[in-house]
Each structure stands twice: as structure tokens, then as C-alpha cells.
Amino acid sequence: MTATRSTGAAARAMVLPLALAQFIASYAASNMNVAISTIADDIGTTVGGIQTTITFFTLTMAALMIPGSKLTDIWGRKFCFNLGMIVYGAGALLASVAQGLPLMFLGYSILEGVGSALMIPPIYIMITVAFTDVASRGKYFGLVSGAAGLGSASGPLIGGLVTSTLGWRWSFLLQFAVVVLILVLGRRIPEQPRTGPKPHFDLGGAVLSAAGLVLVVSGILFSSTYGMVSWQVFVPVLAGLAVLALFLAYLGRRERTGREPLLATRLFRNRISNLGLTTQLVQWLIMQGSFFVISVYIQQVRGYDAIRTGLLLSPATVGVLLASAVAGRMARRRPQARLVRWGFMLTTVGMILVPALVRADSAVWTFVPGLFLMGFGVGVMLTASVNVVQSSFGDEDQADISGLSRAVSNLGSSLGVALAGSILVAAANPGGAPFAIALGLLAGISLLGLVAAALLPVHPPRVSRGG
């Protein structure tokens, strides 16, 4: 009895550093938005340059998340987690001293992105192994997923406060301090032994998947310079889609010849999981895209500084926090599919309200209804979508589906900033029509997410899970 209680306490103690790690990675993706103008002026670049660094931070995570999941099983879960934190911390330090865009890109976009891709997959795998009963596992999955949503939602407010009082460089130093804290707390994480043979690393699959994602998102980014209808956009996007199709064919060929692929093709044949992944991609696309668009509008049109920008975005933060506080209770009382649908409906209404009410000279309160509904809607569906995807597979597939799920979420973040952000960056004046068009585009994409959510079964079939 004592040994069991001690083991359970040790498992619960490791959740704090894991949740903090997920929080800081999500925080890093959104806190930059409130300091876009400040950073651009300070390091001698443009809003488009900062847009590129934000996009490539989440894109690096998306491109390397699945390979990171495989390395977790090859190098060890705790080792990958600690290595990811160290790489992430080094990137935060480099970004804090950047005097130009190249060093900012290296520290923030590349090193922090690589570090996140190494540290995030072990988080979900270690929770899966540490908590064998489904109820406890779902509880802590929800806690970590909630930390991700909280990090994204609170990023503008915390980032605005730090930037306005200490300077934007201190926001990166804050991330470094949290990394040190996580490494100290992480000493209590037990080294979980690997069961079964060590998997092989599919280098070809890793290269193809990463190349395809980078080409697609890069092509969309080019639209801010060349316009949406141009060969500079079409060529990389079409090339990226072709590479991703080749990647899927490559996976199937490796399976047929008895070699271990980067991802099992059965992960792409599960209808419920595919719909859940679609809702995840759309959720992060509209959340990060709208935060970027509204932040640029507030700073470029209204001339707000970082703290005022963060405060103006706080209704969305409050919405996410309130939804996260009741998410567990709602998940026990309502089917996950219905939560996702309600979330998309609320978010879509919020995204329509913002451009409908806000004008360049309108009162501050005109931002509140739309932002609150957006935040609350996203908070309602974040954990529910993760549960839909993870619950679609047995324990033997949890590592791979976790990596795929995180990759899709980060791809959504990249596409949101690249797609909606390019409309504003390309405009001489980001107010008026460009602002409304960008948010209108995101609202339309939110409706596509609602369609995917409507197709989710309210009572999905049970999946056999190991203990």
C-alpha cells in the first residue's frame, strides 16, 4: 500500500514540470504578437520579418514533432525531454541578445522550435505510461492540454507586461528562467524503461515530411510580398503538396517491404481521428491567426504599446481561462463532439463580431464581446479535440498519434499567422478592409472546422486499450 501510494505521488509530482514545459512552448508562440512593432524597430526589421520568425517557430515544431516522437523511443523519454529544454533555453538566450533578424531567427525560430519538438512528445508519452487507468490519464492529459491553451491565451498579457516594464528581451530571459526551473523540478521525473526493441529512425520519412510542410507554409508567406495569385506562391505550395503526397506513398512502400516507417499508415485511415485532427488544425489556425491579426491592427492602426495591446486582448485570455476551469466538468457531462461543435460556433460568432463592431476610432469595449467569445469557444474545444484524437487508438499507438497530433496543432499555428497575417502585412494600411478580410477569412475557416466537428460521432466506438 505504501509503495503504491509513493509511486502514485511520484507520478503526480512529475506532471508540474511537464505542464510547465507545454505552457512555455505555447506562451512563446503568442507572446511575440504584442511586441511586433517594438521588436521590429529595435532590431531594424519589418512587421513581415517578425511574422516570418513567428511562423517558422511553430513550423519548425510542426516539421520536427513526429521525428521527435521517434527519437523519444530511441534516446529515452527523460533524455529527450531534458535535451529539448536545454536547446530551447539556449535559443531563448540567443534571441534575448539579438541585434538583427538573423540571430532572432536562429534563436527563436530554429533553436526554440527544435527544443520544443524534442521536449513535447515525451510529455504525453510519459503521462500515458505513468497513469495506467484511463480516468487518471484523461485528467492529466487535460491538465497539460489546458496548460497549452493557457500559455497561448496568457502570452499577450504576460508578454505585454514584461515588454512594457522591462523590455522585450526580458520576455526571452523569462523563458530561460522557466526552463531552468523545469530542469530542476524535472530531476524528480523517473526514467521510464523502454519496452520492446529499440525502433529504427526513418530519416527519409523525416526529410520528406519536413520538406513538404516547409514548402507549403513558405509559399503562403510569399503572398505578403507577391500577392495570393502569383507563381511565387503557387510553385512552392504545389511542390509542398506533391512532396507530402510522396511522403504518404513512401510510408506505404516501407510498410509493404517490412521496414519501419516514420508513421504507421493506419493512423491516417481512422475517420474519427482524421476529423479530430482537422478540428485541431483549424482551432490553432484561427487562434494564432486572429491573435496576430488583431495585435498588428492594435499596434499599427491604434498605435498601442505592448502592455495596452496585451490588456486589450485580455478578454480572450479570460474566455480561455473560464472555459478551461469548467472543461473537466463539461467533458464528464457532455460528449466530446458536442463540446467541439459548441466551441466552433462561439468562436465563429466572436470572429464576426470583432470587425463588425471595431473601427479605428471606436471605444475599447467594442473589442470585448468578440474577443471573449473567441477565447471561450477555443477553450471549450481544445481539450475535447485532443481527447477525440487520442481516444481513437490503443496504447500501442499513443506515441505516434501524440506526435502527429502536436504536429498538426503547430502546423495550424503556422498557417494561421502566414495566411491571415500576409493579408495585413501586404496592405499599406492594415486597418479597414484588410483587417475585416483577414478576420473574415479566419471566420470562414472556422466554419469549415464546424463542419468537421458536425461529422464527429457523438458516441464513438470504444477502442481496446492496454493497461
d(CA 39, CA 50): 8
Residue 430's closest CA among 301, 242, 272, 275?
A: 301
Cell numbers describing residue 354: 470583432
Q: pLDDT exceeding 70 applies to what percent of the chain?
A: 90
Predicted confidence band of residue 274 (pLDDT cuts 50, 70, 90)? very high
Residue 5: pLDDT over 50? no
Residue 287's closest CA among 115, 446, 108, 64?
A: 446
Predicted confidence band of residue 463 (pLDDT cuts 50, 70, 90)? low
d(CA 303, CA 296): 10
Q: What is the pLDDT of residue 6?
A: 44
Residue 61: CB atoms within 10 A of its CB come to 28
More confident residue, 277 or 330: 277
Cell numbers describing residue 143: 491538465
Q: What is the pLDDT of residue 195?
A: 64
Amino acid at 437: I
Place of cell 515588454: 163
Residue 413: pLDDT over 90? no
Q: What is the pLDDT of residue 300?
A: 82
| Contact indicator for 113, 59 with CB cutoff of 8 Å | yes
Residue 234: pLDDT over 50? yes
State the Rg of the chain over Cα: 21
Q: What is the pLDDT of residue 102?
A: 94
Predicted confidence band of residue 239 (pLDDT cuts 50, 70, 90)? very high
**Upper half-sphere CA count for residue 4 (Cβ side, 13 Å):** 2
Q: What is the pLDDT of residue 426?
A: 67
Q: 185-199, 342-356, 373-387, 451-465 — which one is most confidently predicted on average? A: 342-356
Residue 452: pLDDT over 50? yes
More confident residue, 417 or 230: 417
More confident residue, 143 or 105: 105
Chain mean position to CA 155 = 13
Residue 1: pLDDT over 50? no
Query: What tens digit of pLDDT does each residue of 109-162 get?
Result: 999 999 999 998 888 778 877 776 656 666 777 678 778 777 877 888 888 889
Residue 372: pLDDT over 80? yes
Residue 193: pLDDT over 70? no
Predicted confidence band of residue 428 (pLDDT cuts 50, 70, 90)? low
| Contact indicator for 43, 167 with CB cutoff of 8 Å | no
Residue 467: pLDDT over 60? no
Residue 224: pLDDT over 90? no
d(CA 216, CA 101): 22
d(CA 29, CA 155): 8
Core vs surface per residue 212-240: b (16+ CB within 10 A) or e? bbbbbbbbbbbbbeeeeeeeebeebbebb
Within 8 A by CB and 6+ apart from 321, the residues are 150, 153, 154, 379
0.75 surpassed by pTM: yes
Predicted confidence band of residue 256 (pLDDT cuts 50, 70, 90)? very high
Within 8 A by CB and 6+ apart from 72, the residues are 80, 121, 122, 125, 399
Least confident of 36-45, 130-139, 445-454: 130-139
End-to-end CA distance of the chain: give it in Å, rounded.
Answer: 19
In three-state form (DSSP H/G/I as H, E/B as E, the rest C), the secondary structure along the chain is CHHHHHHHHHHHHCHHHHHHHHHHHHHHHHHHHHHHHHHHHHHCCCHHHHHHHHHHHHHHHHHHHHHHHHHHHHHCHHHHHHHHHHHHHHHHHHHHCCCCHHHHHHHHHHHHHHHHHHHHHHHHHHHHHHCCCHHHHHHHHHHHHHHHHHHHHHHHHHHHHHHHHCCHHHHHHHHHHHHHHHHHHHHHCCCCCCCCCCCCCCHHHHHHHHHHHHHHHHHHHHHHHHCCCCHHHHHHHHHHHHHHHHHHHHHHHHHHCCCCCCCCHHHHCCHHHHHHHHHHHHHHHHHHHHHHHHHHHHHHCCCCCHHHHHHHCHHHHHHHHHHHHHHHHHHHHCCHHHHHHHHHHHHHHHHHHHHHHCCCCCCHHHHHHHHHHHHHHHHHHHHHHHHHHHCCCCHHHHHHHHHHHHHHHHHHHHHHHHHHHHHHHHCCCCCCHHHHHHHHHHHHHHHHHHHHHHCCCCCCCCCCCCC
Query: What tens digit of pLDDT does each residue of 280-321 get?
Result: 999 989 988 888 888 888 888 888 888 888 888 889 888 888
Q: What is the pLDDT of residue 436?
A: 85
Residue 200's closest CA among 265, 259, 252?
A: 259
For residues 67-81, give the mean pLDDT. Answer: 87
